[in-house]
Amino acid sequence: MPVGILRWRCRKNEFSFISDLTFEENPVIGVRDGVSLSDKKTAVTQSKYDIEILEAGVKAHFYLELVIRENDDEMMMDQELATIFCGINAGEIRLGAKKTRGFGEFKIVRLSEKVYSKENYLEYADSYNPEKWGKLQQ
């Protein structure tokens, strides 16, 4: 289940929204161990630790909401999103800790888009209902 929401300001008076990941099934969680390193890159005494990770192959979904106003350059915003999505699928954008150690890579396997306007704004009430979007394909 999602535990929080991230909102950030893109430009003046614009908000976007990215939800937390929601897992299709209970994810497989593994444990990896590590050792804290000193500034000289040597092991610190009694500094062993364990870190929980999501094992490869976990499927989840998230929602990204982008508010486009009348005077916005929608084509430029679409291009910026396409760049982000390409960066994700190329492994250049990762989630979580230990990203330089090979963790956090994910792929976008499906994109769906819904546009809300003054003509269909009441449909927005169901926009975060996973049943309206369907299950992820295996």
Per-position pLDDT tens, the chain of length 138: 333 333 444 444 455 788 888 887 888 888 989 899 999 999 999 999 998 888 888 888 888 888 888 888 888 888 888 888 898 889 888 888 777 777 888 888 888 888 888 888 888 888 888 777 766 554
Gap between the Cα atoms of 32 and 114, Å rounded: 39
Helix (H), strand (E) at residue 88: helix 74-89
**pTM value surpassing 0.85:** no
Residue 41: DSSP 8-state: S
Partnered with residue 32 across adjacent β-strands are 51
3-state helix, strand, coil in the chain (%, to 5): 20, 30, 50
